[in-house]
Structure 1
Amino acid sequence: MIAIGSDHGGYALKQEVIKYLETKGLPYKDYGCYDTSSCDYPDYAKAVCEAVVNETCEKGILICGTGIGISMAANKVQGIRCALCHDCFSAKATREHNDANVLALGGRIVGGELALMIVDLFLHTPFSDEDRHKRRIEKIEL
């Protein structure tokens, strides 16, 4: 299951990502927000990241206006490796090299079609499992 959340700045893009998940038959849980009313991104980052850390969900997707604030909030949660991606190469590389478990997107930065390509790569690219990457991840987790 995929945990997904956004603030008001990422709400519209979140709706597009949810449609994509539904089309692909991928189960998800929406942790909010549920409209475009002004709200605080750290609340949604925390909810999504706790679901990933508690293994309620396998991976998470977070969206705010730029993706910056929500990714910063996400990375405060122990056990989360959130990557802000605005291109396909980064989405693929962060899964292969960093075993990122949460993707952050900027709803005011990335268009819908590109965002869906990024989401697809993030969700379907496996971790390389190479020793050098494992070693580096262990150093991040300290």
Structure 2
Amino acid sequence: MTCFLSRSIRLALRAGAGVAALCLAGTALAQSLPRQTLQAGMHLIQAEVAATPSTREKGLMFREQLGPNQGMLFIFDVPGTQCMWMRNTLVPLSVAFIADDGRITNIEDMAPRTEDSHCASQPVRYALEMERGWFAKRGLKAGSRIDGIR
């Protein structure tokens, strides 16, 4: 993934709007993305859906917080060894890589503002980012299922 700034964000930066413009851009993106309700056992997840190259590139960049059961579901066109990173991401996250059948293949914890790659252990089409520790606190691990992905 690469850092992508829209033309309006680049213009705002040139005009001196700085971080405030980036935060507003992140908020506007969150409000415009489709949402899905997912289920992990008895736990409901409100996931924003990033299913296009540009929304996957932006991901959760510049967000200052997530709600307690909020996250982002990344949907890729074809199964592959998907990798995630945290450039310009301000909150610590955990990512669950998910196979077509909804089974979690592996979960990785990610530190904010880093470019370390965190990759799926096998080809997957989905990745679900949640606040760091969300999966562990609920006893979810490789082999657990996430239902409701469409």
Give TM-score, length-normalised by structure 2: 0.34
As a proportion of its length, which structure holds more strand?
2
> Larger radius of gyration, structure 1 or 2?
2
